[in-house]
Chain A
Amino acid sequence: MFIMSFFDWNIGFQQSSPYIGLENYIDVLTDPIAKRAIVNTFVYAIVTVPLQMIFGLAVALLINGIKKFGIIFRLGYYLPVITSWVVVALLFRYIFANTGLMNYFLVDVLKIVDGPVSWLSSRWSALASAMLLGIWKGIGWNMIIFLAALQAVPRNLYEAADVDGANRFQKFFYITLPSIKGTITFALVMLAIGAFNTYTPIAILTGGNPMHQTEVVLTWMYFQTFDALNMGYSAALSMIVTAIIMIITVFLFGITRRKKVA
């Protein structure tokens, strides 16, 4: 793939694939759609990653403290995770369609707006729908990871804190958070990687349309590979994206490690 990115790659053995140096990279970097796709992906990541983690951790904390019917909650919050992306993305497309559940509630049940809102046909509301889907589906994943982590927080620390008269927030910030730091780093890195590899929600909700407004990196890469057959272009794009994720990962490891010292 690294090699492919320097060639005007053609499929098929008969055609030659001339070496074109950095031209693919220049194509990617000067392409307004690629730029927009990268911006969209960044926005998607910046919104969905922290929200998923906060909601997931909140749910894990709530469920961890619930004794009665705990199993129902643990299962209910996990259900979105186990339904396939394709199916939930289709359901969300239906929810946000012009004649879908969301408009039905807003127009006919609550009567807040006069006519149906076309959620999926403008850039930001379509991206917001996709982000909502990403967060909704991600909460259960985070809950599992954090529930496991919470089991290992030593109970005697809480007891000691109770003796000292610490309140819930103090216990959370001084005991719970420091004890699950490794898990937080893990979730942060995994979710950031996941957000940059978002494909299915966008592909099914909007297909990158209207006019490539909602394209994210992977849908654009897919389009270039399979529809435009620009193998070299998409290889260059995927090298650039891999580099971006690598920088982010190193950065995330860096900030979480600094916190450990403090």
Chain B
Amino acid sequence: MKTKNYRLRSLLFEIFKYTVTILGLLIMIIPMYYMIISALKDNATTFIYPPNLFPRLSLLDFRNFIYILENTIFFRYLWNTLIVAFISVIMSAVFSSLLAYAFARLHIPGKKVIFAVIISIMLVPGLALIVPQFELASMFKLTNKLSGVILFYTAWTIPFSTFLLKGYIEDNISKELDESIYVDGGSPFTVYRHIIIPMASPSIAAVSILNFLFPFEELGWSQAILKSDEIRTLPVAISMFFRAHSQTDWGYVFAMTTMAMIPVVIFYLLLQKYFVTGLSSGSIKG
């Protein structure tokens, strides 16, 4: 009797769970849906009243997408953005996981102060940093080069990534595992490679997903530094549509934004497997 009751309750809970998740999902994707629909429509019908949420299929076509591909060097922008994204994601993952490990585990004099300094870098509004950073970039001859964007993005994402990874290591990875490596004659680097990296992989995947997005979003700095057309990243290229014409062609903006989302989605789908329960081996926590 008791088990039957329990089974009914968990069935109800399952139904409740799916209903809530699906309702939430709809709210999350309605604006997205509207963007894609608008990208497929004539510009004039984007912001009309009453809104046309379910336009007839005959009204939809790919003219905005074709315009983008024919009239801009879209694939060049995409390539630039991907290069920036991949290099900065990898550099940031390597540096921040090493830093996080050091802050979480190693005995370094004054590490609390150093950590506080790294955190406080994030407190300054990004807007206020553009001018001094531009001076720094021109000193190292990094302006109008992709490397200028890559280095600064890496520098911006390191504090955030270190902060997350440090919390994760402290929370979830048992010190006993470290000690067992030391007993076997391993070095701190062995611990880093064989304990920290595999066990922190969900968290490293999470920061990499978020860091990968950064070059696809960031506008202030990339706009300031990338002046030639052939080295622009996607956000800078999209922003050109805001200014090039007195009346913004929303169809083009939405079409380009939709296309720019594709690589981010693919990267996310590749890395999200680290979030699936059961893949990471359970840790022994004392």
Contacts and interface: CB of A to CB of B under 8 A. Distances in A.
A237 B176 CA distance: 48
Contacts of B34: 91, 101
Interface in B123-169: 123-128, 132, 160, 163-164, 166-168
Give the interface residue-count category, chain A: 35 or more
A152 B202 contact: yes
A191 to B, nearest CB: 12
Interface string B22-48: 001101110110110000000000010
Nearest to A190: B160
Contacts of B285: 154, 157
Given A66-B18, A79-B32, A218 B127 contact: yes
A51 interface: no
A196 B124 CA distance: 10
Nearest to A199: B127
A59 B164 contact: no
Given A154-B282, A182-B168, A79 B28 contact: yes
B257 A87 contact: yes
Given A66-B18, A152-B168, A139 B123 contact: no
Contact of B32 (A80, A97, A150): A80
B120 interface: yes
Query: Main SS of chain A's interface residues?
Result: helix
B190 interface: no
Interface string B53-76: 000000000000000000000000
Interface stretch (B79-87, B180-188, B262-270): B262-270
Given A1-B132, A74-B272, 14 more contacts: A62-B17, A71-B269, A80-B28, A84-B216, A149-B168, A151-B202, A152-B173, A152-B202, A152-B203, A153-B172, A154-B285, A179-B171, A246-B120, A249-B119
23 contacts: A71-B269, A75-B272, A80-B28, A82-B213, A82-B264, A86-B239, A87-B254, A104-B49, A140-B28, A144-B275, A148-B203, A148-B205, A152-B172, A152-B199, A154-B282, A154-B284, A168-B13, A180-B171, A185-B167, A189-B163, A190-B160, A221-B125, A249-B120
Interface of A: 1, 59, 62-66, 70-88, 90-92, 94-95, 97, 99-101, 104, 108, 136, 139-141, 144-145, 147-157, 168, 179-183, 185-186, 189-190, 193, 196-197, 199, 218, 221-222, 235, 238, 241-242, 245-246, 249
Interface of B: 13, 17-18, 20-21, 24-25, 27-29, 31-32, 34-35, 47, 49-51, 119-120, 122-128, 132, 160, 163-164, 166-168, 170-173, 199, 202-203, 205-206, 209-210, 213, 216-217, 219, 235, 238-239, 242, 250, 253-254, 257, 260-261, 264-265, 268-269, 272, 274-277, 279-280, 282-285
